[in-house]
């Protein structure tokens, strides 16, 4: 899974590597700043040291500027890297779906594919952004702040180290409780999308059968389900902030108490007021880094399900592939079915076609009759290799259909499907789906044959009228 995901980074390797580097510089500078502030305050405290105060002040401005610069750089490369990563992933998914055979498509519902290309990609993009930016920043920040704090005052810094495991345990409980809820929310999104898609697609049927209320209820149930799980999960996650604040204030009270004692007993020689205020800053940085880390963990776990769903599509092998050394030309219109059996799914109990032997001569006109569901469409779909026969061979022009170049075969075998689909574009654009090089005269000729010419001429711009579904 990780390998498939990494494969989507491609031309965005550079910003993906630069981001953590920029973030590291930003963090280091951010950790040095409180140290200089401590010095500055200590000098102000002691008075008569204007030069030193100015010096430290200038250094602080410079550091703040460096930190800002690298923060901006990291933000920019991170945006480029994560958006590019998502773009590549959508591109790959879309191209993969184009390669799918009918039986590949049967495995994924349309709504599920739409969710995978939109919500799931966005989730993974967010996680990626977190990983290259925050996941580098937080541990780095925690370690550097701890080092600086210890360098300043080891006794007081121990307080943070003691509080850290308590905060970690609290955060762990919050994650453990909220995670299953987040996971179930994303499963339910599919159901919601399914309900929306079915309804929007079948809007006319819903209306003509006056089923709006039923559909509304069905939708409301799916939406309520998502809402209730999301609310529960967010309510638990909302505990993060007060927990963090509690740990922070507890640490501050302890540090103030013992810090004051140290300053007073040593008369300010062991530690200055400035040092104490910087210790607060380091403490905040240590504890908030831990909280950020826990949030990243939540984000990555949420996106894990999305990653799996994306990889399922990316790693799906197309069931129909071009043969090696394919035949590029269909010699004539002969069609032969030799002992052909077919079922839609390998685990299906019933065959849709069972031992079919059918021989149609080139130029012959044949009608196939049968009740609904008697597999007429199934039979037709095997000729242009929309599905492969489970057993036996289907031949066109005397050659097994599996030996042809798929494009050559499908160009030669025209299939008019029962369900008509219009693509957005002019009437001409839609007609050229059959033959993209057809001349205007040819388009008019076939439309006359299909008795559609008169109808098309009644449109305001005739063949150039823009139409859509």
Question: What residue ranges bind Mg ion (CB under 5 A)?
Answer: 376-377
Select from Mg ion, ligand ADP, none the partner in contact with residue 288, using the beta carbon and a kind-dependent cut-off of 5 to 8 Å.
Answer: none
* Shortest distance in whole angstroms from residue 345 CB to ligand ADP: 6
Lay out the site mask for ligand ADP across 132-151 (x = CB under 6 A, - = otherwise). Answer: --------------------
Residues 438 and 431: beta-carbon distance below 8 Å:
yes
- Please identify, among the stretches 305-313, 315-323, 372-380, 440-448, the one whose residues bind ligand ADP according to the rule CB under 6 A: 372-380
Q: Which residues contact 388 (CB under 8 A, 6 or more apart)?
A: 319, 320, 382, 402
Residue 283 near residue 34 (C-beta atoms within 8 A): no
1's CB contacts (< 8 A; 6+ apart) are 307, 308, 311
Question: Which listed residue (325, 365, 372, 437) binds ligand ADP by CB under 6 A?
Answer: 372
Angle between helices 273-314 and 50-99 (to 10 degrees): 10
* Nearest residue to Mg ion, by Cβ distance, number only: 377
User: Measured from the CB of residue 102, what is the shortest distance to ligand ADP in angstroms?
Assistant: 7
Q: How many residues bind ligand ADP (CB under 6 A)?
A: 11
Give the shortest CB-419-to-Mg ion separation in angstroms.
10
Least distance from ligand ADP to the Cβ atom of residue 401, Å: 18
Tell me which long-range contacts 407-411 makes (C-beta under 8 A, separation of at least 24): 408/326, 408/327, 408/328, 408/329, 408/330, 409/330, 409/384, 409/385, 410/384, 410/385
User: What are 271's two structure tokens?
Assistant: 């530690």
What, of ligand ADP, Mg ion, none, does residue 47 touch, CB below 5 to 8 Å by kind? none
Nearest residue (CB) to ligand ADP, 108 versus 280: 108
Whose Cβ is closer to ligand ADP: residue 112's or residue 378's?
Answer: 378
User: Least distance from C-beta 343 to ligand ADP, angstroms?
Assistant: 8
Of 77 and 378, the one with the shorter C-beta distance to Mg ion is: 378
The span from the CA of 317 to the CA of 93, in Å, is 13
The reply to whether 374 sits near ligand ADP by the rule CB under 6 A is yes
Measured CA to CA, the distance from residue 30 to residue 22 in angstroms comes to 12
- Residue 374's binding partner among Mg ion, ligand ADP, none (Cβ under 5 to 8 angstroms by kind) is ligand ADP
Tell me which of 154, 267, 367, 373 binds ligand ADP, using CB under 6 A: 373
In the block, residue with structure tokens 């002691």: 46
- Residue 46, token pair as written in the block: 């002691």
* Binding residues among 86-115 for ligand ADP as defined by CB under 6 A: 106
Q: 230 vs 344, which CB is nearer to ligand ADP?
A: 344
Specify the residue, 419 or 436, whose C-beta has the smaller distance to ligand ADP.
419
DSSP line for 178-194:
HHHHHHHHHHHHHHHHH
Query: 278 or 378: whose CB is closer to ligand ADP?
Result: 378
Q: Which does 373 bind (CB under 5 to 8 A by kind): ligand ADP, Mg ion, none?
A: ligand ADP
Binding mask 300-339 for ligand ADP (x = CB under 6 A): ----------------------------------------
Work out how close the CB of 105 gets to Mg ion at its nearest, in angstroms, rounded to a whole number: 17
Q: In what order do the strands lie in the sheet with 335-342?
A: 353-360, 335-342, 391-396, 399-400
Q: Is 367 in the site for ligand ADP (CB under 6 A)?
A: no
The reply to whether 344 sits near ligand ADP by the rule CB under 6 A is yes
Under 8 Å CB-to-CB from 28, ≥6 apart: which residues?
140, 144
DSSP 61-72: HHHHHHHHHHHH
Tokens of 16: 């993906």
**267 contact, one of ligand ADP, Mg ion, none, CB 5-8 Å limit per kind:** none
State the residue for tokens 């010096």: 55
Residue 230 binds which entry of ligand ADP, Mg ion, none, CB below 5-8 Å type-dependent: none
Strand partners, 393: 338
Torsion angles phi and psi, residue 463, rounded to 5: -70, -15
- The encoded tokens of residue 296 equal 């990243």
What are the backbone dihedrals phi and psi of residue 436, each rounded to the nearest 5 degrees, phi first? -70, -15
Q: Given the rule CB under 6 A, which residues bind ligand ADP? A: 106, 344, 352, 370, 372-378
């Amino acid at each position: 899974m990780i390998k498939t995901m990494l494969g989507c980074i491609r031309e965005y390797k550079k910003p993906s590597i630069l981001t953590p580097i920029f973030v590291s510089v930003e963090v280091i500078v951010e950790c040095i700043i409180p140290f200089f502030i401590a010095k500055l305050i200590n000098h102000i405290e002691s008075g008569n040291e204007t030069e030193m105060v100015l010096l430290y002040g200038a250094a602080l401005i410079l550091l703040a500027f460096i930190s800002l610069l690298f923060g901006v750089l990291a933000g920019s490369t991170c945006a480029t890297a994560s958006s590019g990563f998502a773009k590549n992933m959508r591109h790959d998914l879309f191209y993969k779906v184009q390669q799918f055979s009918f039986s590949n498509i049967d495995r994924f519902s349309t709504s599920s594919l739409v969710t995978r290309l939109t919500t799931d990609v966005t989730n993974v993009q967010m996680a990626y952004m977190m990983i290259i930016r925050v996941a580098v920043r937080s541990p780095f920040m925690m370690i550097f702040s701890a080092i600086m704090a210890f360098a300043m005052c080891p006794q007081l810094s121990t307080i943070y180290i003691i509080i850290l495991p308590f905060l970690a345990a609290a955060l762990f409980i919050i994650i453990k409780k909220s995670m299953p809820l987040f996971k179930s929310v994303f499963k339910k999104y599919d159901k919601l999308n399914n309900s929306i898609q079915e309804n929007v697609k079948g809007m006319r049927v819903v209306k003509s059968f006056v089923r709006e209320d039923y559909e509304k209820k069905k939708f409301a149930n799916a939406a309520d389900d998502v809402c209730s799980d999301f609310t529960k999960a967010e309510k638990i996650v909302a505990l993060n902030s007060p927990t963090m604040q509690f740990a922070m204030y507890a640490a501050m009270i302890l540090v103030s108490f013992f810090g004051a004692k140290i300053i007073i007993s040593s008369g300010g020689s062991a530690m200055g007021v400035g040092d104490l205020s910087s210790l607060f800053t380091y403490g905040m940085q240590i504890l908030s880094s831990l909280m950020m880390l826990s949030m990243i963990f939540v984000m990555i776990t949420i996106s894990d399900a999305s990653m799996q769903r994306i990889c399922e599509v990316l790693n799906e092998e197309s069931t129909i592939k071009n043969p090696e050394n394919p035949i590029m030309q269909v010699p004539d219109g002969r069609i032969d079915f030799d002992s052909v059996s077919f079922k839609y799914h390998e685990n299906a109990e019933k065959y849709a076609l069972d031992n079919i032997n059918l021989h149609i001569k080139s130029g012959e006109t044949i009608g196939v009759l049968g009740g609904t569901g008697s597999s007429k469409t199934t039979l037709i779909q095997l000729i242009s290799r929309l599905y492969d026969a489970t057993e036996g061979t289907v031949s066109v022009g005397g050659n097994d259909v599996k030996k042809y170049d798929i494009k050559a075969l499908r160009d030669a075998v025209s299939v008019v499907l029962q369900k008509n689909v219009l693509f957005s574009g002019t009437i001409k654009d839609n007609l050229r789906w059959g033959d993209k090089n057809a001349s205007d005269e040819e388009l008019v000729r076939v439309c006359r044959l299909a008795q559609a010419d008169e109808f098309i001429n009644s449109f305001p711009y005739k063949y150039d009228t823009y139409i859509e579904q």
